[in-house]
């Protein structure tokens, strides 16, 4: 390796897997070069979350990062870890700093059939990674209050809209997005569709949100018409916009093999639905792509807390490491592409192959046993699975 990968360590069970993946699948085979950032909750608290900002800046500097799942603190976590404050989601912070788009795609493996029987090809969800409720301001409102939206322009003129006259107590939320961010999102989606030659779908709720969501629709349409239409025609792919309700119905009846672009919240929710229907959240990969071509790879699932507590009690666990392995292979593969390192690219491809072949040969974690249609299969522990992949990988690499 010539340029270091930005390595962001995380929390709980995925932190345990992170170290094991490095020890068993990476360092024995690759002269691994990383710049390490510990995004574990304790260290985020110690650094007042500066480490998260530093890691995002490092991705901007080097271009490629790989991230372990991290805890997004809630009230219970504040107590559990004795936190100074309820730190923001690291993913949210990094996404906002890179203003990127998150593409999530399932890892398909023989023997695991999607629960939606028509799905034959992966569905990639493109999630807008900036704004909306992830950057909101919310308040409790006392009965008798009047809530208004107030915008002050550069000349100091105010525009006002009544939100609600509250008779009783209630709640209120303000959120925003920006034309540049929506435009970057649109371009990232169009570019990604061209690069993998798949149709692009985009959905919002513009019939209800006639200004906010409608703006997304218009920006996409304008950029498509002006910049991408002929390239899409040449590539034989199409872009189409539809209401989110209609999109959901069409997705379920489809064969897959397209990109579904979603607003931030829709993408968060729909990616979990799509991942689960494809088999397992543990088989879903995720990459954040910034408009200027910086990449951050991670698994789509969380820190698998329940398994971690079992692990702490010394009980056996069977946590699926596939998405985390694919985060590493994605990042190493991208580094290889950018730095012109064919051997590193080959290694990343071999590691993916060894991982899938292990499962296709019947050795898998327990979450997959329930899903696999293979006649002979064995549910193994977290570490046994990694050992099996390592054994297969050694053979592949030595050949
Ligand atoms: P989660 O960690 O994804 O786990 C939810 C459940 O899904 C698990 O209890 C497990 O089910 C199953 N599961 C998920 N990943 C699995 C894997 N690799 N192998 C086997 N089973 C897997 O979600 P959560 O419990 O809602 O969140 C836990 C923590 O993760 C939270 O603190 C949250 O803030 C954080 N989180 C982080 C990210 C991120 O960093 N990208 C994303 C989401 C959540 P069973 O227990 O039934 O086996
Ligand atoms: Mg989610």
125/268 same-domain check: yes
Q: Are 160 and 216 members of one domain?
A: no
Q: Which two tokens stand for residue 77?
A: 């976590």
Q: Which residues surround ligand 2, an ion (CB under 5 A)?
A: 268
Nearest residue (CA) to ligand 1, atom 30: 302
The residue whose two tokens read 């990639």 is 124
Q: What is the pLDDT of residues 327-343, one digit of tens each?
A: 999 999 999 999 999 99
CB 100, CB 276: distance < 8 Å: no
The sign of the torsion formed by the CA atoms of 148, 151, 152, 158 equals negative
What is the number of the ligand closest to the CA of 134? 2
123 and 236 together in one domain: yes
* In a shared domain, residues 306 and 236: no
Range of the domain at 329: 1-99+295-399
* Tens-place pLDDT, residues 150-180: 999 999 999 999 999 999 999 999 999 999 9
> Is 124 in a helix, a strand, or coil?
strand
Number of structural domains (the chain) is 3
Cβ-proximal residues to 211 (8 Å cutoff; 6+ apart), any chain: none
CA 155 from chain center: how many Å?
40
pLDDT surpassing 50 at residue 399: no
> pLDDT (tens digit, 9 = 90+) per residue, 293-331?
889 999 989 999 999 999 999 999 999 999 999 999 999
In a domain, 331, yes or no: yes
Q: Does 107 map to a domain?
A: no
Residue of minimum CA distance from atom 39 in ligand 1:
69
Antiparallel, parallel or unpaired: β 258-262 and 170-174: unpaired
> Does residue 87 contact residue 45 with C-beta atoms inside 8 Å?
yes
- CA quadruple 53, 58, 64, 67: dihedral sign: negative
Pocket of ligand 1 (CB under 6 A): 69-72, 91, 281-282, 298, 301-306, 319-320, 367
* DSSP state letter for 133: G
CA of 151 to the centre of ligand 2 (A): 31
Q: Which of the ligands is closest to the CA of residue 381?
A: 1
Give the pair of three-digit tokens for residue 223: 């950029």
What residue ranges in the chain does DSSP mark as E strands?
Answer: 5-9, 34-38, 64-67, 101-106, 123-128, 137-141, 146-152, 158-165, 170-174, 199-204, 239-243, 258-262, 284-289, 295-299, 363-365, 378-380
Report which protein residue has its CA nearest ligand 1's atom 5. 304
Q: Which ligand is nearest to the CA of 284?
A: 1
What are 97-156's pLDDT values in tens digits? Answer: 987 888 988 999 999 888 899 999 989 999 997 899 999 999 999 999 999 999 999 999
Q: What is the mean pLDDT of the chain?
A: 94
**Ligand 1 atom nearest to CA at 366:** 20
Both 271 and 316 in a single domain?
no
Q: How far is the CA of 288 from the centre of ligand 2 (A)?
A: 14
**57: part of which helix (H) or strand (E)?**
helix 50-62
From the CA of 303, how far away is ligand 1's center (Å)? 5
Ligand minimally distant from the alpha carbon of residue 272 = 2
Residues 6+ apart with CB under 8 A from 88: 49, 72
What distance in Å separates the CA atoms of residue 316 and residue 324, rounded to the nearest whole number? 19
First to last CA, the chain: 22
Q: Which atom of ligand 1 is nearest to the CA of 367?
A: 20
Structure tokens, 184: 């970057």
Q: Is 141 a domain residue? A: yes
Ligand 1 midpoint to CA 396 (Å) = 31
Asked if 71 and 77 touch (Cβ cutoff 8 Å), the reply is: yes
- Lookup result for tokens 């491809």: 349
Residue 231 Cα, ligand 1 centroid: separation in angstroms? 39
Smallest CA-to-CA distance from 337 within 44, 2, 107 is with: 2
Q: Which of 67, 127, 303 to mutate to test the pocket of ligand 1 (most atoms within 8 A of CB)?
A: 303
CA geometry: angle at 312 spanning 9 and 383, to 5°? 65
Question: Residue 344 maps to which CATH number?
Answer: 3.40.718.10
**Same domain as 88, residue 1:** yes
Predicted pLDDT at 222: 98
Q: Does residue 215 share a domain with residue 342?
A: no
Q: How confident is the model at residue 398 (pLDDT cuts 50, 70, 90)?
A: very low
Does residue 75 belong to any structural domain of this protein?
Answer: yes
Instruction: List the structure tokens of 79.
Output: 């107590």
Same domain, 270 and 368: no
- Compute the distance from residue 272 Cα to the ligand 2 centre, in Å: 6
Tell me, yes or no, whether 105 lies in a domain.
no
- The angle subtended at Cα 91 by Cα 90 and Cα 97, nearest 5°, is 90
Query: Hey, which of 9, 92, 273, 302 would you mutate to test ligand 1's pocket, going by the most ligand atoms within 8 Å of its Cβ?
Result: 302
Burial of 163 (0-12, 13-18, 19+ CB in 10 A): middle
What Å distances lie between residue 69 and 92, 285, 381, CA to CA?
Answer: 12, 12, 20
Distance CA 285, CA 289 (A): 13
The last residue of one of the domains, among 278, 312, 339, is: 278
Is the distance from CB of 340 to CB of 373 less than 8 angstroms?
A: no
Residue 196, pLDDT score: 76
For 198, the 3-state DSSP assignment is: coil
- For the record, the structure tokens of 3 come out as 């340029």
Ligand nearest to the CA of 127: 2
Closest Cα to atom 41 of ligand 1: 69
Please, where are the H alpha helices in 254-321? 264-278, 305-312
Nearest CA to ligand 1 atom 38: 302
From 15, 127, 304, 305, give the residue whose CB has the most ligand 1 atoms within 8 Å, as the site to mutate. Answer: 304
Decide if pLDDT at 367 tops 70.
Answer: yes
Q: What is residue 332's predicted lDDT score, i.e. its pLDDT?
A: 97
- Ligand 2 centroid, distance to 229 Cα (angstroms): 32
Ligand nearest, relative to CA of residue 301: 1
Q: Which of 254, 248, 300 is nearest to 91 (CA)?
A: 300
How far apart are the CA of 397 and the centre of ligand 2, in A? 36
């Amino acid at each position: 390796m010539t340029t270091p990968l930005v390595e962001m360590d995380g929390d709980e069970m995925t932190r345990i897997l992170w170290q094991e993946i490095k020890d068993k699948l990476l360092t024995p085979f690759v002269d691994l070069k990383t710049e390490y950032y510990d995004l574990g909750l304790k260290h985020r608290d110690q650094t007042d979350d500066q480490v998260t900002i530093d890691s995002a800046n490092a991705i901007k500097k080097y271009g490629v990062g790989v991230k372990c799942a991290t805890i997004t603190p809630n009230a219970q976590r504040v107590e559990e870890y004795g936190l100074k404050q309820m730190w923001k989601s690291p993913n949210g912070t990094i996404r906002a700093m890179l203003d990127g788009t998150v593409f999530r795609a399932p890892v398909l493996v023989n023997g695991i059939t999607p629960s939606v029987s028509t799905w034959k090809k992966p569905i990639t969800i493109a999630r807008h990674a900036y704004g909306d409720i992830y950057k909101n301001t919310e308040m409790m409102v006392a009965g008798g209050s009047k809530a208004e939206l107030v915008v002050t322009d550069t000349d100091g003129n105010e525009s006002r809209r009544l939100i609600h006259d509250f008779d009783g107590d209630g709640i209120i939320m303000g959120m925003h997005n920006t034309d540049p961010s929506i435009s970057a999102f649109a371009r990232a989606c169009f570019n990604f569709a061209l690069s993998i030659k798949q149709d692009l779908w985009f959905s919002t709720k513009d019939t209800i949100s006639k200004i906010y969501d409608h703006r997304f629709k218009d920006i996409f349409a304008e950029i498509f018409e002006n910049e991408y239409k002929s390239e899409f025609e040449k590539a034989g792919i199409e872009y189409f916009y539809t209401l989110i309700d209609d999109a959901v119905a069409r997705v379920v009846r489809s064969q897959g093999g397209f990109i579904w672009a979603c607003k931030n919240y829709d993408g968060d929710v729909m990616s979990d639905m799509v991942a689960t229907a494809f088999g397992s959240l543990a088989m879903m990969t995720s990459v954040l792509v910034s408009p200027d071509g910086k990449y951050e790879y991670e698994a789509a699932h969380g820190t698998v807390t329940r398994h971690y507590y079992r692990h702490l009690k010394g009980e056996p666990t069977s946590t699926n490491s596939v998405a985390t392995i694919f985060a590493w292979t994605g990042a190493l593969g991208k580094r290889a592409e950018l730095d012109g390192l064919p051997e590193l690219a080959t290694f990343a491809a071999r590691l993916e192959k060894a991982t899938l072949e292990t499962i296709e040969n019947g050795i898998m974690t327990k979450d997959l046993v329930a899903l696999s249609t293979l006649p002979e299969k064995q549910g193994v522990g977290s570490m046994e699975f990694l050992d099996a992949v390592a054994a297969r990988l050694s053979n592949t690499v030595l050949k």
